[in-house]
A = this chain, B = another copy of it.
Amino acid sequence: MAGNIFGQLFRLSTFGESHGPAIGGVIDGCPPGIELNFNAIQNELNRRRPGQSAIVTQRKEPDEVQFLSGIFEGKTTGAPIGFIVPNTNQKSDDYSHIKDVYRPSHADYTYDKKYGTRDYRGGGRSSARETISRVVGGAIAKQVIPNITINAFTSSVGDIFIDKPYQALDFSLIESNAVRCPDAATAARMEDYIKQIRKEGDTVGGTVTCVIQNVPVGLGEPVFDKLHAELGKAMLSINAVKGFEYGSGFCGAKMKGSEHNDLFNTDGTTKSNLSGGIQGGISNGMDIYFRVAFKPVATIMQTQTTIDSNGNEVEMQGRGRHDPCVVPRAVPIVEAMAALVLTDYYLLAK
């Protein structure tokens, strides 16, 4: 009955529901003496924030983080870092229509059956608003391992995808458009498509690709806590994620060994990197890259038939201000979870 703590040495505990007074968390195990860049932390929250562009939900939330402990004179002290992000836009009445209704492909039904109760306001704990705490935690984690760079981006929306390897992309362009796709032409097509989907009152899925560079050799704890296994768990724990693949991924399952093996250079680097920077669960110093699949947002603006908690059929129509495609806002969340894993494994490997 307890799954709200992530990590072994760098541990993030999160709390908060979409319509409670605040979202927050505690980071236990942050090394002392790190001079925090608070703007960088807030900037990550801004990347996740609703209302940031025309293609995301138009809810307004400032999402400003307040730190309550673990920091003294601008530096981490080694004590746990407690933080909160107040919820300022709690329009609970938006949700009265779903009080007794199980929305299709939401967690309403399973939460109600598991816990025997349900905070129906905006999904309660199952709301993606919970990921705010992950973004704060990840933004701090990034500052613990500043040499490791983590870049995620939108690699597909619906059927539209970047038809280039990540090496051909300029990561500095990720933030240059609202979809967070570093390929401008593809980004434009994605953006148009999302707008069209929103007009239809529909939603669409997509994928995020993440590339982690400058990783030291030796991160990963086989046999169960392999680096990619923990990355996979981290990504799959994000709302709406349906799949994870790293390196050659599902394509690799179609290949022959003679094609797939990464031959060595004499310095220990490899000529190809179908392995995705990890061998036997341990980083080999090459780029780590993986892809995460997000399903379409379940809340659509069309009429759906569903059931209430008594098993009666009811008609419902999505209301409120929702994302037509969750992927652009998921980009910083993917990065945050990657940073949490890398930092934890960095500390484990010391």
Contact = CB atoms under 8 A, between A and B. Distances in A.
Contact of A125 (B77, B125, B126): B77
A321 interface: no
A72 B20 CA distance: 9
A14 B1 CA distance: 19
A310 to B, nearest CB: 9
A259 B119 CA distance: 27
A113 interface: yes
A206 B255 CA distance: 8
A217 interface: yes
Nearest to A233: B233
Interface string A222-249: 1111101110111011010011111111
Contact of A77 (B21, B77, B119): B119
A218 interface: yes
B106 A279 contact: yes
A124 interface: yes
Nearest to A121: B72
Contacts of A102: 264, 268
B313 A266 contact: yes
A332 B109 CA distance: 32
A66 to B, nearest CB: 8
Contacts of A109: 264, 268, 279, 284
A288 interface: no
Given A202-B257, A350-B350, A115 B78 contact: yes
B4 A28 contact: yes
A174 interface: no
**Most chain B beta-carbon contacts within 10 A, residue among A14, A20, A264, A300:** A264
A255 B295 contact: yes
B28 A2 contact: yes
A207 interface: yes
Interface string A194-229: 000100101111110000000001101111111011
**Most chain B beta-carbon contacts within 10 A, residue among A17, A233, A255, A298:** A233
A300 B224 contact: no
A6 B297 CA distance: 32
Interface in A143-157: 156
Given A243-B249, A249-B242, A223 B295 contact: no
Interface stretch (A57-65, A79-87, A176-184): A79-87
22 contacts: A1-B347, A2-B11, A2-B28, A3-B28, A3-B281, A15-B69, A25-B26, A68-B84, A69-B125, A72-B119, A79-B119, A80-B125, A109-B279, A110-B278, A204-B256, A226-B236, A229-B232, A232-B233, A242-B250, A257-B296, A260-B295, A260-B298
